[in-house]
Amino acid sequence: MLSVTDLQKTYSSGDEALKGVSLEVTGNETVAVIGPSGAGKSTFIRCINRLTEPSGGSVELDGLEVTDLSGKKLRNARRDMGMIFQEFNLVERLTVMENVLSGRLGYVSTWEAFRRKFGGDDVGRAYEVLDRVGLEGHEDDRADELSGGQRQRVGIARAILQRPKILLVDEPTSSLDPETSRAVMELLTEIAADDDIPVLINIHEVNLAEEYADRIVGLRNGQKVFEGTPEGLDETARGQIYRGEEIPEETGPKRSSAEETAEDAATQEGALRRG
């Protein structure tokens, strides 16, 4: 279980990216963080595994305070959090297999890592995970030979191979076309259910968030302005998140817009199942 309390981040430029955000993620739920660009979504995710150093607040993973850790202990905490990136961040010149196996780097010695010597179990699992994300037979391809969707699948495989307690996903679909985006989202929610782990996703496509998330969190200017079910994300909430509207005065065409998105999703779904 991940529990974030009052997380703050002020960059050295004086830019306040996070002004105290709290959030709990439990079970095997999929939580989507939405918000306009610059709202602090990426900073939030990156502060959790401390790729970006938070300036205040606390992050607890299964009762372990992550913000105090350093060295070996921090690395062990990172092993428990699988991260998936917007630009995939695969090591382009390595093979797919090496990229997937790099998810085990926290568990092997440096010398073994240098010799690409991973336990037989790791390799076996890597093959299974590759099958699971639909990349069987691609293990010896170089990462830069793959298409965007395939690369993101490798990125997901790398993260699952860590056997993480949670998946942190930073804008997984913004470098992908709509069709591939859906396939990736489906894969992520499937993993959450199968492996019984929660998934925390930053995403800017609201319709994808509504479709796939169990819970939606809205960030604006480094503050949480909405938290609730996809159904609860009405026009008022959207207004708050995207236009900074303070008071819910307007009762606008919220139903129709929700229906529209649902319809949209339904029509596309059939075609996209295959992905």
Partner 1 sequence: MATEQSDTRSWQRPTAFYNRYVKWAVYVVIGAFLLWSAWNMRISPARAAQGWTAAAELLGGMFPPEFTPFKTDLLIQGLIESLAMSVVATIIGVILSIPVAFMAAENIAPQPVYWVGRGIITVSRAFHELIIAIIAVKAVGIGALAGVIALSYKTVGFFAKLLAEDIEDTDAGQMEAVEATGANQTQTMLFGVVPQVMPRVVGLTIYRWDINIRHSTIVGIVGAGGIGSTLLNSFDKYDYDFFLTIVLAIIAIVMVGEFVSTYIRGRIQ
Partner 2 sequence: MTDYQTWERRTPRQRLVRYVLILVTLVAAAISWRLLQINYNYVGSAPVEFMDLVNRMYPPDVGYTTDILGPLIETVHIAILGTGLALLMAIPVALLGAENTTPNRPGFVLGKFIISASRSVNVIIWALVFVIIFGSGALAGTLAIAVRSIGFCSKLLAEAIEEIDTGQVEAITATGANSIEAAIYGIAPQIKPAFIGVATYRWDINVRASTIIGFVGAGGIGVELNTSINFFRWQGVLTILLAILGIVIFSEVTSAYLRRKVR
Interface with partner 1 by CB under 8 A: which residues?
95, 97-98, 101, 116, 120-121, 123-129, 132, 139-140, 160, 194-195
φ/ψ of residue 24, rounded to 5:
-120, 135
Name the minimum Å distance from CB 100 to partner 2.
11
| Residue number with CB closer to partner 1 (195 or 227) | 195
Indicate which single residue of 106, 134, 252, 275 sits in contact with partner 2 (rule: CB under 8 A): 106
CA pair distance 207, 32, nearest whole angstrom: 11
- Please give the Cα distance from 11 to 166 (Å, whole number): 26
| Radius of gyration for the chain, computed over Cα atoms and rounded to the nearest angstrom | 19
Q: CB 150: neighbour CB atoms within 10 A?
A: 20
In the chain, DSSP finds a helix count (H) and a strand count (E) of 10, 10
* C-alpha–C-alpha distance, residues 8 and 43, integer Å: 10
**Interface characters, 161-200, with partner 2 (x: CB under 8 A):** -x--------------------------------------
For residues 49 and 195, give the distance between their C-alpha atoms in angstroms, rounded to a whole number: 20
Nearer to partner 1, 30 or 95 (CB): 95
Residues 123-162 interacting with partner 2 (rule: CB under 8 A): 155, 158, 162
Nearer residue to partner 2 within complex by CB, 166 or 233:
166
Binding site for partner 2 (CB under 8 A): 49, 51, 72, 75-83, 85, 87, 89-94, 98, 102-107, 110, 113-114, 155, 158, 162
